[in-house]
A and B are shown apart, each in its own frame.
Chain A
Amino acid sequence: MIAEAKNVTIPEAKPAAPARYTKKDLVADQPTWCPGCGDFSVLAIYFKMMEKRQVPHEKITSVAGIGCSSRFPYFVNAHGVHFLHGRAAALATGVSLMRPDLHVFVFGGDGDAFSIGGNHLEHAARKNVKMTYVIMDNQVYGLTKKQTSPTSPLGFKSKTDPTGAIDYPINPIKKLLAAGATFIARTHSHLPNHVMEMMEKAMDHDGFSVIECLSECTEFYPGAFDAANPRKGGLFQLIPPGHAVTDEVAAYKLAMADFPGYFGVFYHVQRPTKNTLENRIIADAKSRAGNASPADLLKKTFERFS
């Protein structure tokens, strides 16, 4: 662990709040989301999961970029960061690597994750940095009032595509598989139990876990995900029980299914995290250097310069 390697003691929680906290203790601002927004469901599940898991209050850390869903940290009464558009995963990488005592959650939307932040998403996945990234995909830019998003379907009419989207949409699961994410799941905000199940599995994964959560924008793309919502007559199709979650090709095939596609865990493998590998490098380097103090290490190095 980094904390040990550095001889830094990260103090165990002396909880200022009651020994057990409830969802209520985690409620902060009234969300600015529109009525009926799918993101409410993700927020409620996050509260519920934290209440269940009792992660020490001061160690809950939520990170977000820019977008409607990226307002998330403001609505959680816990440490959090509202960072730049697209760069939340990169910031979370810095937090995660230096703070093994935290499980960092990143929240954002499809524009943040797949468009302006596409490169960071891929590299955080490839490096397998320990964190959970929940992407609330509404297939439209909502905060800026209805422009085409990277996941908008062909023909989607928006203010930037008045005659319908012509750019082929990104398939999030295929992109994440190709990037090397080690836990990839898909869920639907209208099915809170399923969201909870995916969030818990993601949290328990030691590595880069990512969830694509279809999250309806009732203002600019209402009804987008009705086809997968049983209450609206849709079919919520779970991944077939026989699917081997370690089979990348099988996961890719599942991801190719026509909209609304499958829901559940597409892919789940164990690969050493960057956190673990860096700590191994630290342990080796420190041991080779005889666990010398910073001043002694510098003195020794500067002997070579003289």
Chain B
Amino acid sequence: MINDKVAEPAVAADKPAPASSRLIKDAVIRLAGNSQDGIQAIGGFLARLAGRTDKDVMTYMTIPATISGGPSIFQVRLGTGEVLSAGDEVDVLVAFYQHSYRDHVDTLREGGILLYDSDHVKHEPDGRAYRAIGVPITSRTVEAIGGTAKDKGKNMFVLGLLARMYELDVPKLEQMLTAYYKGKGEDVVRNVLLAFHAGYGYNVTETFSFRPGEARQTRGQIVTDGNQAIAYGALAAGVRFGAGYPITPWSTIMEILRQELPKYGGIFVQAEDELAAVAMACGSSYAGYTAITGSSGPGLSLKSEAIGWAIMAEIPLVMIDVQRGGPSTGLPTNVEQSDLNLARYGSHGDSPRIVIAPGSVEDCFYTTIEAVKLAREYSCPVIVLTDQALATRVETWEKPDFSKCVRDISPRFEPRGPNYKPYEDSAEGVAQHAPPGTPMLDGKYPIVTGLEHDEYGHPAARPANHVMMVAKRRRKLKVLESRLPKVEMHGANEGNVLLVGWGSTRGPIQEAVDRARASGESVSAIHLRYLMPLQPGIKEIMDAFNHVFVVELNDEGLYGYGQLAGILRASFCDPRISGINKTDGLPFKVREILDRMNEKLKAAKTPVLA
């Protein structure tokens, strides 16, 4: 088991325990307050500190959809060794308000610690075995900072408390706080440090220290969220034009690109709507600069027509879809993986395109680079399916080797022809696009069009031509399929249960496999990074297991399986494939996956796992 907590005796609430420092492998800390309390800042500093001290970190954040205010949480799991999920149960819950306490106390594990602001929270012992520690967070903070600070700085006080509890590296934290706040003035830095030290000086009686991790030979750790990784991935990939329209949770990608692209000589346009954003991106790609656009589900719906144009005209294009709960406006700040069918098929006509999904924050960076590469190599749109959980999740990952991943994809205008055929019916079926400015040696220039066309790009509605061109556009995806890497297996190559996942559920699924295998059960998992085309060898892998469950954050549908499961059933004619689905707008917990798996096995009259 990954989460090997030290068993603690159940202690009656509010009774102080003797000071002790226990060695732990990881810690799950949930901060619950309101959105203006700066709890994300606490989480952010903890995450970055972890990154600097060779710990892995995974965070989970919910943000209210309202403009400001409203309950908000940030959960951070710090640990030595790979942290795969944000943690099912909480070791320490920090509750700023009564509602924070009320709504989240059930997430505490047995023997966990409730740290509540005794100025705001009235604790009601409920007989559950956790330790409740009341700290006058608000009044102590005001006392520390003085003046008219009101309750600002509570987050720094709590950071101090946690630094004490987990024996964190105080000089490093001070350094980070000073660097972060120095732009806001010396007074702010002073107050931040005063609040921090007031918290650090408060005797919480319970301390833990992390087991030393394995020393790493790396380029160093960095800490980012998924959307940052995508934005900088696009920059590394050489993208110099982007266009988008604001929508949660995609907006932060466009904000970063708007700020950063000019330094790289590029432009990001905030378009008048989603339709214009994708049209502008098509224009830039046509002009020779492979462009990026993006949105969430509602925007992908709107952009589907232009994606179809880029498929027909064979123009490279990268479309990021940060999925959220749907349909319609749905759940703007919650996670769902329900845009898979839209990403794969959305657009009229037979419209083959590439769909890939990153499985972690680090993967967001490399998937975006790959998306740009594939869009250019196969001259078609590539849709990157990330989601709200991955977008806002903060992880530590190894600093990229920029000497290897930075690309220059400036256009080339070397003369073409004679008899230039942009859409030649070649073995690989990939179009050879010539941007405007390219001289044509025989003086005959191509038009790029959404009409069905012949090999020269000339409109052609002849039956045989359409048959040929539909096959050509399909064929290039078959070529890509044959070049894709084999699916990575987590666990043994054969056994009783195979879990299949895609996108942001990778961590919890792998952790579920680890737990099940640790208790001797025969469970493995595969993670599908390429969703169109699919990687080779999937059928052979599935055939080596008794049960195949596709774990997805979308609806189980009318027949008991979700979107990827439907695709796999249709692709491989395997009726055993069924779904473990969830639509509560929250990431999968490891326990949920295991419980649902056991229910399924029970229903199948198979021995139940532990």
Q: Do A and B come from one complex?
A: yes
The residues of A with any CB-CB pair to B shorter than 8 Å are 2, 5-8, 10-11, 13-17, 25, 28-29, 57-59, 61, 63, 73-74, 77-84, 86-87, 90-99, 101-102, 119-120, 122-123, 278, 281-282, 284-286, 288-289, 292, 294-295, 297-299, 301-302, 305-306
Q: Would you give 22 A-B contacts (Cβ < 8 Å), ordered by A? A: A2-B265, A2-B267, A8-B410, A11-B413, A79-B446, A84-B279, A90-B271, A91-B282, A92-B283, A94-B284, A95-B284, A95-B436, A98-B267, A98-B288, A102-B436, A120-B279, A122-B272, A282-B266, A298-B402, A302-B222, A305-B399, A306-B223
Q: Which stretch from B195-203, B234-242, B494-502 is at the chain A interface?
A: B234-242
Is B443 within 8 A of A57, CB to CB?
yes
A43 shortest CB reach to chain B, Å: 14
Against A, the Cβ 8 Å flags (1 = close, 0 = not) of B140-155 are 0000000000000000
Does B400 lie at the interface of the complex (its beta carbon under 8 Å from any beta carbon of A)? yes
Complex Cα–Cα for A281 and B265 (A)? 9
Distance of A119 from chain B, by nearest CB (Å): 6
Task: List chain B residues, Cβ under 8 A from A6.
Answer: 240, 265-266, 410
The answer to whether A294 touches B264 (Cβ under 8 A) is: yes
Interface locus among B351-359, B447-455, B540-548: B447-455
State how many angstroms separate the Cβ of B394 from the closest Cβ of chain A: 10
Q: Which residues of A contact B282 (CB under 8 A)?
A: 83, 91, 94
Contact of A82 (CB < 8 Å), options: B232, B411, B415, B451: B451
Q: How far is the CA of A28 from the CA of B399 in the complex (A)?
A: 53
State in angstroms the CA–CA spacing of A57 and B443 once bound together: 9
Return chain A residues, CB-CB under 8 Å to B269: 93-94, 97
Asked whether B402 lies within 8 Å of A58 as measured between CB atoms, the reply is no
Q: Could you tell me if A7 and B243 are in contact, using CB atoms closer than 8 angstroms?
A: no
Q: Looking at B264, B280, B449, which has the most chain A CB atoms within 10 Å of its CB?
A: B280
Chain B nearest CB from A120 CB (Å) reads: 5
A79 touches B265 (CB 8 A): no
Known contacts A77-B445, A301-B232, A306-B221, A285 near B263 by CB under 8 Å = yes
Q: Does B52 contact A (CB under 8 A)?
A: yes
B450, A83: Cβ atoms closer than 8 Å = yes
Chain A residues whose C-beta falls within 8 Å of the C-beta of B311 in the assembled complex: none
Out of A11, A63, A91, A306, which one reaches B280, CB within 8 Å?
A91
Is B276 in contact with A123, judged by CB distance below 8 angstroms? Answer: yes
For chain B, residues 208 to 233, give those with C-beta under 8 angstroms from any C-beta of chain A: 220-224, 228, 232
Complex CA–CA separation, A283 to B435 (angstroms): 25
Contacting A at CB under 8 A, from B429-468, are: 434-451, 458-459
Q: Are A99 and B436 in contact (CB under 8 A)?
A: yes
Q: Which residues of A contact B51 (CB under 8 A)?
A: 306
Are the CB atoms of B222 and A305 closer together than 8 Å? yes
List A contacts of B240 (CB < 8 A).
6, 98
Say whether B406 faces chain A, with CB atoms less than 8 Å apart.
Answer: yes
Cβ contacts under 8 Å, A8 to chain B? 265, 410-411
Digitize B277-292: 1 where CB-to-A-CB distance is under 8 Å, 0 elsewhere: 0011111111111010
Instruction: Select from chain A the residue with minimum beta-carbon distance to B406.
Output: A295
Task: Give B487-536 interface residues, CB cut-off 8 Å to A.
Answer: none
Q: In angstroms, how far is the closest chain B Cβ from the Cβ of A291?
A: 9
A285 touches B283 (CB 8 A): no
Given A94-B284, A97-B284, A295-B406, A5–B306 Cβ distance below 8 Å? Answer: no
* Residues of chain B within 8 A of A101, CB atoms compared: 437
Distance to closest chain B CB from A271 (angstroms): 18
Interchain Cβ contacts within 8 Å, total number: 216
Hey, what's the 0/1 contact readout for B387-419 against A, CB within 8 Å counting as 1?
000000000000110110010101101010100
Interchain CA distance A91-B310 in the complex, whole Å? 12
Chain A contacts of B52 at CB under 8 A? 306
A119 touches B448 (CB 8 A): no
A98 touches B439 (CB 8 A): no
Q: How far is the CA of A45 from the CA of B424 in the complex (A)?
A: 33
Chain B neighbourhood of A58, CB < 8 A: 413, 436-440, 445
Out of A28, A74, A83, name the residue touching B279 (CB < 8 Å).
A83
Contacts of B243 in A (CB 8 A): 94
Interface contacts beyond A73-B447, A81-B448, A302-B402: sample of 12 additional A-B pairs, CB < 8 Å, sorted by A: A10-B413, A16-B442, A29-B458, A82-B449, A82-B450, A82-B451, A94-B282, A94-B287, A282-B262, A288-B263, A297-B263, A305-B48
- Chain B residues in 8 Å Cβ range of A92: 283
**B236 partner residues in chain A, CB cutoff 8 A:** 294, 298
In Å, the complex CA distance between A102 and B51 comes to: 48
Task: With both chains docked as a complex, state the minimum distance between the C-beta of A85 and any C-beta of chain B, in angstroms.
Answer: 9
The minimal Cβ–Cβ distance linking B580 to chain A, given in whole angstroms, is 34
Q: Are B276 and A286 in contact (CB under 8 A)?
A: no
B273 within 8 Å of A (CB atoms):
yes
Do B284 and A5 touch (CB < 8 A)? no
A305 touches B223 (CB 8 A): yes
**Is there a chain A Cβ closer than 8 Å to B206's Cβ?**
no
A165 to chain B, nearest CB (A): 26
Instruction: Pick the residue among B275, B285, B403 that contacts A295 (CB under 8 A).
Output: B403
| B309 located at the interface, meaning its Cβ lies under 8 Å from any Cβ of chain A in the complex | yes
- In this assembly, does B305 line the interface, its C-beta being within 8 Å of a C-beta of chain A? yes
B443 near A99: Cβ-Cβ < 8 Å: no
Closest to B315 in A: A81
Tell me the minimal C-beta distance from B582 to chain A in angstroms.
Answer: 32
Q: Which of A5, A98, A119, A298 lies in contact with B232, CB distance below 8 A?
A: A298
Q: Specify which of A5, A59, A306 is in contact with B265 (CB 8 Å cutoff).
A: A5
Partner of A302, one of B238, B264, B399, B439: B399
How far apart are A80's CB and chain B's nearest CB, in angstroms?
5
Q: What is the distance, in angstroms, from B417's C-beta to the closest C-beta of chain A?
A: 8
Question: What is the chain A residue whose CB lies nearest that of B291?
Answer: A94
Q: Is A87 touching B406 in the complex (CB atoms < 8 A)?
A: no
Interface string of B48-62 (1 = CB under 8 A from A): 100110000000000
Is the beta-carbon distance between A7 and B436 smaller than 8 angstroms?
Answer: no
Name the distance in Å between A117's Cβ and chain B's nearest Cβ.
9
> B224 — which chain A residues lie within 8 A by C-beta?
305
CB neighbours of A286 from chain B (8 A): 262-263, 265
Q: How far is the CA of A278 from the CA of B47 in the complex (A)?
A: 36
Residue among B283, B411, B434, B440 facing the most chain A CB atoms (10 A cut-off): B283
A10: chain B residues at CB < 8 Å are 413, 437
Q: How far is the CA of A63 from the CA of B223 in the complex (A)?
A: 44
Instruction: Give chain B residues whose Cβ lies under 8 Å from the Cβ of A94.
Output: 241, 243, 269, 279-287, 291
B235, A25: Cβ atoms under 8 Å? no
CA distance A97 to B279 in the complex (A): 13
Shortest Cβ gap from A121 to chain B (Å): 10
Question: What residues on A are CB-neighbors of B445 within 8 Å?
Answer: 28, 57-58, 77-80
Assess whether B241 is in contact with A97, with CB atoms less than 8 Å apart: yes
Quick one: which of B263, B271, B459 has the most chain A CB within 10 A? B263
Q: Given A94-B282, A94-B287, A98-B289, are A285 and B406 neighbors across the interface (CB < 8 Å)? A: no
CA distance A57 to B437 in the complex (A): 8
Instruction: Give 7 nearest A-B pairs by CB, closest first.
Output: A94-B283, A90-B279, A285-B262, A6-B265, A79-B436, A123-B272, A94-B280
Q: Which residues of B contact A80 (CB under 8 A)?
A: 445, 447-448
User: CB < 8 Å: which of B222, B262, B413, B444 contacts A77?
Assistant: B444
A78 and B399 alpha carbons, distance in the complex (Å): 46
Q: How far is the CA of A28 from the CA of B266 in the complex (A)?
A: 35
Of B238, B275, B443, the contact of A25 (CB 8 Å cutoff): B443
